[in-house]
Amino acid sequence: MPPPGLSPVLQGAATGLVLLLGFALPPLLQLKEVPALRVIRRDMGPPRQSALAVYVLGFGAVFALLWWQAGDLKLGSYVFGGFAGAFGVFAAIGYGALKSIGRFGRTGSVSWRYGLANLLRRPRANAVQITAIAVGLTAILLLTLIRADLLDSWRKRLPPDAADRFLVNIQPEQRGPLAEFLERNGVKQPQTFPMVRARLVAINGRQVGADDYSDERARRQIEREFNVTYLSALPADNKVSEGAWFGPEDLERGAISVEHWIAERFGIRTGDRLDFVSAGQGFSAPVASIRKLDWDSMRPNFFFITTPRLLEGFPASYIASFHAPPGDALLTLRLSRAFPNVTVIDVGVILRQVQRVMDQLIGAVQLVFLFALAAGVLVLYAALLATQDERTHEAAVMRVLGARRAQVLACSRRSARPRSAGRSRHACSSWISSGTAGSGSPAPRSGSRASC
């Protein structure tokens, strides 16, 4: 594989820079408009219209990044709309929950009531904080689900028993001896398909050639012979997308099933009549169905499948695939000696290389997930510590009102913990309120304790 380039690094740096400037620039732009006296008072005031406009530009930058990473405007719009909708829902729920707490939290102890009053003093700011935490948790959970689905789909793409040997040019009289040979060597019954080499020469009676198509792959395909097989039952990993699989009438008069990609390239539809030539002989039949198939199944797949009667009398060979038993490195050599005319294609080395690449990709996805999880934890921690200055101010007020140093330190230690930051803040403010309201004096009673 080619060595990694600088493009992912530059994309990541550009993404981080755009997000940083989009949401960190508004407070920086406000600094030049803030008087020195307001800085001393620590009063920023309401945001100006220019700052609000920059926030709009920040969200626009997020939309542009989603569009860029998705590579599709519709998909990027869906993702952006989903996050915007989630933001609105979480904000409404958070604000409504705060209002509900104010209605139903009027009973209880003095500390409880004053703690709720402190919480409801800034409902909008607290609702924004709740929304930020909820959106962050949603992103982490969404990444967890996507990661699990992605890893499962990758593992299913290449099962451990995938075929790693393909046998080509098996003659009809060799099918029985070959099956016995493989069974003696511990190989399960291989999948065997008849194969006739034929060239498509006409569609609906009109001769076709490379000059009839602009697609380069279609031009190459029409100039070569196809491997055509004949079957009565629909193969595994094949799904009919148009028309129907061979019925009794089709088996009697002859019909053809065409793969979806080749049908699109050649402009073939159900009901069209196709003419083929094989070894100087021709055959013709209508198209009964269009199929979609899984090219990653590691099984023989065919662009054209006909009914068995249509290819009676045509020279045919067989192709087979199987999974070699592990540890039997000489199976291919013994098979070549027993059947010299059979071509053995060993894709085991390629599959092992693909498996190693997939393992590396899975490891990379795990690292990206851990990095995103760590970043999410830091964001949540920063959101919870956004009120650190307020708690510091409350601690200073507690000291002014007569709280002991141990009580202030206990509240500060509780405040430093993200899980109890909000709880300690409310409890400490309740201690202040209950001390002043209950005694009518700034100093607390001698037996009072801070319930934080």
Per-residue pLDDT tens over the stretch 29-60: 777 777 777 666 666 555 555 556 666 777 78
Pure H helices in 158-255: 175-184, 216-222, 248-253
Contacts of 216 (CB under 8 A, 6+ apart): none
Token pair, residue 137, equals 């948790």
Which amino acid type is present at position 95?
A: Y
Is 278 a member of any domain? yes
Cα→Cα distances 305→196, 203, 222, 286, 308, Å: 10, 16, 17, 12, 9
Reported as a single tens digit per residue, the pLDDT across 187-198 is 877 888 999 999
- 337 inside domain: no
What residues make up the domain containing 269? Answer: 189-322
Is residue 354 a part of any domain in this protein? no
Q: Percentage of the chain with pLDDT > 70?
A: 75
**Position 420 confidence tier, pLDDT thresholds 50, 70, 90:** very low
Q: What is the mean pLDDT of the chain?
A: 77
The average pLDDT across 11-37 equals 75
Structural domain contains residue 152: no
Please count the structural domains in the chain.
1
The model's confidence at residue 353, banded by pLDDT at 50, 70 and 90, is confident
Q: How far apart are CA 245 and CA 249, in angstroms?
A: 11
Cβ atoms of residues 451 and 442 within 8 Å: no
Is residue 259 one of the residues assigned to a domain? yes
> What percent of the chain is predicted at pLDDT more than 90?
24
Q: Is the pLDDT of residue 430 over 70?
A: no
pLDDT digits (tens, 9 = 90+) for 56-98: 777 787 888 888 877 788 888 888 888 888 888 888 888 888 7
Residue 242 falls within a domain, yes or no? yes
User: Considering only 102-116, 186-200, 223-237, 255-269, which range has the smallest mean pLDDT?
Assistant: 102-116
* Domain assignment of residue 318, yes or no: yes
For residue 446, the model assigns a pLDDT of: 37
Q: Which of 439, 440, 416 is nearest to 428 (CA)?
A: 416
* Residue 19, in any domain of the structure: no
Q: In this structure, what are the phi and psi dihedrals at residue 160, rounded to the nearest 5 degrees? A: -65, -25
Nearest in space to 197 (alpha carbons), one of 224, 225, 221 = 225
Residue with tokens 């098979």: 335
Q: How confident is the model at residue 438 (pLDDT cuts 50, 70, 90)?
A: very low
* Position 423 pLDDT exceeds 80: no
In this structure, is the dihedral angle defined by the CA atoms of residues 199, 204, 209 and 214, taken in order, positive or negative?
negative
